Amino acid sequence: MNAQITSNDLQKKIQGYLETLALETDLARQSDEMQRYLDFVARFHQYSPSNIFLIMLTKPDATHVAGYQAWKKMGRYVRKGEKGIPIFAPLVHREDPDKDDSPKVLSGFRIVYVFDVSQTDGEPLPPVPDWKSPEKNTEMNEKLIRFAESRGITVTFKELSGETQGVSRGGAIEISPNAGTKTLIHEIAHELLHQGRYVSDSNVCELEAESVAYCVCRFLDFASLQCPNYLTLNAATAVSIINHVQIIQNCTEEIISALV
């Protein structure tokens, strides 16, 4: 590490960055823009893994799906001629139909159809809050790539599908040419934190990796970081960020130490 900054000094800086990030994340969640979008997303049914597979198989670019009547309630209408996406809906009935408090039992499934938002027209959709941080630093990118390689991680820049900015694949990282340096740090954090340590909640993985990226970028004086929006879109709160402070702090210090 640079002789001008001690480990203790760095930890204090990182702690301050995380406290700021926690506050900014809660403020982002409370913004009108974010509230409109989160309310929109919350109105979608959560599908089973098998139905998610069917949706992706039928329409790989699907983002938000709902039934015909559900779209009508949201002021949108399925365009004429659009083909529905088939999924399985459970058939449930009461064990004793004459008793309202009788337990419900599953008797089978039927096929129903849902439609992606791209197949509908009507009331304007709330815009997705800006979550990308495109600022690039060529010198830091080169240092980060060398650091990744020293940990047995290869970095490849390539076109990725949709809005994807980066992917961690366990020993390999893929980065969109349009992505900023923060994305590279985010994916390196995934490699360091999550490829040898199982975390069941994907939102926790995103919280940790994005918080590390925020702290490293703040240390490097990057501007226009959209991390609070990204974290809010992944269900993070100030409390959840602070609850993971030690893991975030250790990984941040490891990366910064390799850059200065």
Q: Sheet containing 172-175: which strands, arranged edge to edge? A: 154-157, 172-175, 166-168
> What type of residue sits at position 240?
S
- Between CA 165 and CA 179 the distance in angstroms is 6
Q: Write the burial class of residue 181 (CB in 10 Å: 0-12 exposed, 13-18 middle, 19+ buried).
A: buried
Reduced to 3 states, what is the DSSP secondary structure of residue 78? strand
Asked whether the beta carbons of 234 and 204 are under 8 A apart, the reply is no
Q: Given a cut of 60, is residue 3 above it in pLDDT? A: no
% the chain with pLDDT above 70: 98
In degrees, to the nearest 5, what angle opens at C-alpha 215 toward C-alphas 181 and 196? 80
Reduced to 3 states, what is the DSSP secondary structure of residue 109? strand
Q: Given a cut of 90, is residue 196 above it in pLDDT? A: no
Using pLDDT thresholds of 50, 70 and 90, give the confidence band for residue 243: very high
Query: Which range has the worst mean pLDDT, 77-86, 96-105, 167-176, 206-215?
Result: 96-105
Task: Please give the helix or strand (H or E) that residue 107 lies within, else none.
Answer: strand 104-116
The two beta strands, 172-175 and 154-157, are parallel
Using pLDDT thresholds of 50, 70 and 90, give the confidence band for residue 233: very high
Domain ranges of the chain: 7-31+129-259, 40-122
